[in-house]
Amino acid sequence: MSDTGPTTPNPGPEPFRVPDGDLDDLASTLAKTMAEVRQHGVILDRLGSEPDPIPAASPATDGAPEAEAADDEQADGPASVFILALGGKAYAAELVALSDWVNHLFLPVYGREISTNRPWCAQWHEHPEAVARLHALWLAWQQFTDAQAGLSGPSTWHRDHLDQALAHLRAPDGPFAACTTSPTRPNHRVLTTPVPEQLGPAA
């Protein structure tokens, strides 16, 4: 019988270390993926909450009840998905979803450095024009990054939507004209808008 001697335990694989630079890339990729998952969830929630289409009215001698029922169903949901058409809790929920997209995708990728020629405001959600422009940009992003938009969808979004939005949003005379122009000097002020003229009865 041969003497095999003491066996050496298998130390197992050596620990694998990811370089710090790669960790930053992984963290950025993970953040973008999480943002996309959140946005897909928002889209699914929105699709699930949309009212069922109103069936075509059938011929009847008295069409008034059908017309009233259709009006009631249309009144239940907003006439538009645009954030300025929403109110109350619907507006607040949409603003939260928009903020996720702005903070996790828009700013990290397209934020660019703050300067006198490119102002920004950390409190952008208090600027109605900024909310409107960012929300419109987000809606277009959802449409043009969908698989059904085709391979040129993202390019179309950059050309037709992002570039135009950035030109107006970050312009020196844009909605953030009185806000932060230097990262070391944060500032926030909502610019006043013209007062609508009140039309009275003709003299």
Pick 97 or 71 by higher pLDDT: 97
Which pLDDT tens digit goes with each residue over 56-69? Answer: 444 444 444 444 44
Contact 152/146 with Cβ under 8 angstroms?
no
Is 60 exceeded by the pLDDT of residue 12? no
Which pLDDT tens digit goes with each residue over 84-108? Answer: 889 889 999 999 999 999 999 999 9
Pick 14 or 153 by higher pLDDT: 153
Is 80 exceeded by the pLDDT of residue 27? no
User: What is the pLDDT, as a whole number, of residue 73?
Assistant: 41
Which pLDDT tens digit goes with each residue over 113-133? Answer: 999 999 999 999 999 999 999
Q: What's the predicted TM-score (pTM) here?
A: 0.61
Contact 124/102 with Cβ under 8 angstroms?
yes
Q: What is the mean pLDDT of the chain?
A: 78
Is 90 exceeded by the pLDDT of residue 10? no
Reading the block at residue 175, the tokens are 């909605």
